[in-house]
Chains A and B, each alone.
Chain A
Amino acid sequence: MTGKQINVALIGNPNTGKTSVFNQLTGLNQKVGNYPGITVEKKEGLCKLPRGLKAHIIDLPGTYSLNASSLDENVVIELLLNKNDKDYPDVAVVVSDVENLKRNLLLFTQIKDLGIPTILVINMADRMERKGISLDIDILEERLKTKIALVSARKRTGIDKLKELIINHRNISTEPCVNASVIDPDYFGNLRKAFPKQSIYKLWLVITQDVNFGNINRNEIDKTHSFNTKSTSELKRLQQKETIHRYQFINGVLKEALRIDTNAAKDLRSRLDRVLTHKIWGYAIFFAILLLIFQAIYDWSSYPMDLIDSTFASLSELTKANLPEGVFTNLIAEGIIPGLGGIVIFIPQIAFLFLFISILEETGYMSRVVFLMDRIMRRFGLSGKSVVPLVSGTACAIPAVMATRNIENWKERLITILVVPFTTCSARLPVYLIIIALVIPDETFLGFNLQGLMLMFLYLLGFGIAILSAWILNGILKIKNKSYFVIEMPNYKLPLLKNIGINVVEKTKSFVFGAGKIILAISIILWVLASYGPGDDFNNAEEIIRENYTEQSISTEELEQEIASYKLKHSYIGIMGRGIEPVVAPLGYDWKIGIAIISSFAAREVFVGTLATIYSVGSDEEETIKNRMAAETNPVLGGPLFTLASGVSLLLFYAFAMQCMSTLAIVQKETNSWKWPILQLVIMSVFAYVVALIAFQFLK
């Protein structure tokens, strides 16, 4: 078997430290992708074993049992039932938490019944002494018919033992330890008769779960009348019986093998919970933490962002100065480099946000937030579990939509997905900043900076509209489903730096490569559209302008700018922009803003870059763009283009409009329908237009 990789599947309940074990086994040698066709994250990695062997390790989504209730959990069953899958495990490693062994063993017994060699990892073994827990490993191994590795991913112990067990996986018994068929002998007897070659437990899973299954077709089972088909509620009752039966077995085993000295000191948990889930302090602490997060995202990250901004600006200059003049150089200096800069600039904010979110999740605090917020959110048709997506939405709606997955109730989940794009994502920030700097006076009001107040107002507005539309949707949407809500309240843990580091790097990478591609593509297309045009007006721009100015004295610099703006007006993008001017004029915009808005439909952050390109300013430096914008005049009304009225109108338009293709794509995937993203696009954009129109007409 040398040369061949051993396929290992890591399986376990949430909060057992499964990912820590995965990180210990693979280090940075891991890859995060998606399962084909769905957006469930697929984590895999390579692990070097002793004696030159290698293991390919898949970190499957956390699940409490093989009875799937979400897309993530389906992935687990689909892999374990399909022997033909290239990732089908040679050995399954079930990770459990020593403090929740009983509950974790439920999943273990189910995996074991599939006939896959299964190793049991008992993680967090370093906590045993403190909690007064003692285990008889020999009895456990014997009764569970498995091999056990006592591991502490935190203290890095037991990993070598685990690797050794993985190498010797062929010695592990594949015999089941629980006989599930006793819950209804007649029914299972008939099943066995009908499909003598199949594993009886696999058949049971196919019948009860809605999953694709390798070599047995669901319909084939439904069509076979050699056994009584059962109604859904009968099946459900049987599943309950199965669960109870498994727990009886587990209780029996643990009675022999597990001792807990209850005199061990009262834990930190109850003391922390008394404060963190307190009816007053709990909320106060949560809002303090939120403030800290916003502070980090918008204040601390401004330093690296300024640095990135100036680096890319000088990189552009450098390219222009050093490469031979020509189309290619221009494309790099004016299209690609600013485009890349537009992506990289968001890294600090995204990284900060994921840093906080993963700390809150790793420590176990996030579950407390869900607990505290559930009742309040439910009034608006949301769930306590909607808080995480809504907070994530302030960085980017894409991970936020994906974070809705653990909301069990479909209606609550759908509403969360639909309203998340209203929260102020980081892509809106550059637009807000430049418009606010332009139209809101830099004065203090009651000790607060007016510009800062406006920015805060826009954030609150985003949340407010999200909540309000959730409330409206809750009234409109008629989706009947049995609502239930269960959330585990895990133990508090100190976060592991390695886990957090890896998480931040992975999430940031997926943002940069996902959204980044689109932003880069749009910048290049824009550059091309703005750099070329049809007809004589564009091609002979230089002569036309020179002729006009022959009499007047004009500096070469001014002349060049005149030529550039004349060219732009007659380029492809200029023609398109003037075409839509009638539509945007009632909102107080000119054709240039119209173009910026159109290009924003790919991604909002393109706005500033587009204006930079359009105003023929070489660099993205805000001050220069701002000065150019301040000098623009309104084509219809005369006077400056950016007034309080048009500025506020533009801010409101960006606050409400659905201008993000990537979000629409992810909503389509998560809802598995085009109906919802299209509704989102139409309703949000029409709403944005109407509000912006009213604001401008009222204020002008």
Chain B
Amino acid sequence: MKVTVAQLKRGERGIIKEFSADHVPLKLLEMGCLPGNEVELVQTAPFKDPMYLNINGSHLAIRKETALQIEIELIK
């Protein structure tokens, strides 16, 4: 099954896999959301949307719809 950032629970981490260029805004890449980087879910607003992430030391918040586009591999 495809695991995405949207499935992370608070405090969980994952490694970003390749993602489709058409669904993820360039700005997100520029802010450090790149394949191979580690992503941690810091906090979520009610209904898990938006999601507050720490991607390799870069702290940012994105909406769930974007989070669903970023595939990851969970770190146990």
Contacts and interface: CB of A to CB of B under 8 A. Distances in A.
Interface of A: 64-65, 67, 69, 99-100, 102-103, 106, 233, 236-237, 239-240, 243-244, 247, 269-270, 273-274, 277, 279, 367, 370-372, 374-375, 384, 408, 482-491
A336 B44 CA distance: 55
A516 B5 CA distance: 50
A486 B60 contact: yes
Contacts of A269: 59
A489 B60 CA distance: 5
Given A102-B32, A240-B26, A372 B57 contact: no
Nearest to A384: B50
Nearest to B27: A486
A528 to B, nearest CB: 53
Interface centre among A233, A372, A487, A488 (most CB of B within 10 A): A487
Given A374-B50, A485-B66, A490 B59 contact: yes
B34 to A, nearest CB: 6
Contact of A277 (B28, B30, B31, B52): B52
Main secondary structure of the interface of B (DSSP, over half): mixed
Contacts of B28: 484, 486
A64 B52 contact: no
B63 A67 contact: no
Interface of B: 21-22, 25-32, 34-35, 42-43, 45-47, 49-50, 52, 56-63, 65-66
> Which 10 A/B pairs are nearest by Cβ-Cβ distance?
A489-B59, A484-B25, A65-B30, A237-B21, A243-B29, A371-B61, A485-B63, A64-B30, A277-B43, A487-B61
Given A236-B21, A243-B26, A488-B58, 17 more contacts: A65-B30, A67-B27, A69-B26, A106-B30, A233-B22, A247-B34, A273-B43, A279-B45, A370-B61, A483-B65, A484-B27, A484-B28, A486-B27, A486-B60, A487-B50, A488-B59, A490-B59
Contact of A100 (B22, B52, B58): B58
B43 to A, nearest CB: 5
A384 B52 CA distance: 13
B30 A375 contact: no
A233 B25 contact: no
A240 B65 CA distance: 20
Contacts of A371: 43, 45, 50, 52, 61
Given A240-B29, A485-B63, A375 B49 contact: yes
Nearest to B35: A244
Given A67-B30, A103-B58, A372-B45, A489 B52 contact: yes
B50 to A, nearest CB: 5
A371 B61 CA distance: 7
B45 A277 contact: yes
A485 to B, nearest CB: 5
B33 to A, nearest CB: 9
Contacts of B46: 279, 375
28 contacts: A64-B27, A64-B30, A65-B26, A100-B58, A102-B32, A103-B30, A236-B22, A236-B26, A237-B21, A239-B26, A240-B26, A240-B29, A243-B29, A243-B30, A277-B45, A367-B61, A371-B50, A374-B61, A384-B50, A484-B63, A484-B66, A485-B66, A486-B61, A487-B61, A488-B58, A489-B42, A490-B59, A491-B59
Contacts of B60: 486-489
A490 B31 CA distance: 12
A83 to B, nearest CB: 26
A384 B28 CA distance: 17
A483 B58 CA distance: 22
A67 B26 contact: yes
B7 to A, nearest CB: 18
A65 B27 CA distance: 8
Contacts of A487: 50, 60-61
B56 A102 contact: yes
B61 A489 contact: yes
Nearest to B32: A103
Nearest to B53: A489
B61 A375 contact: no
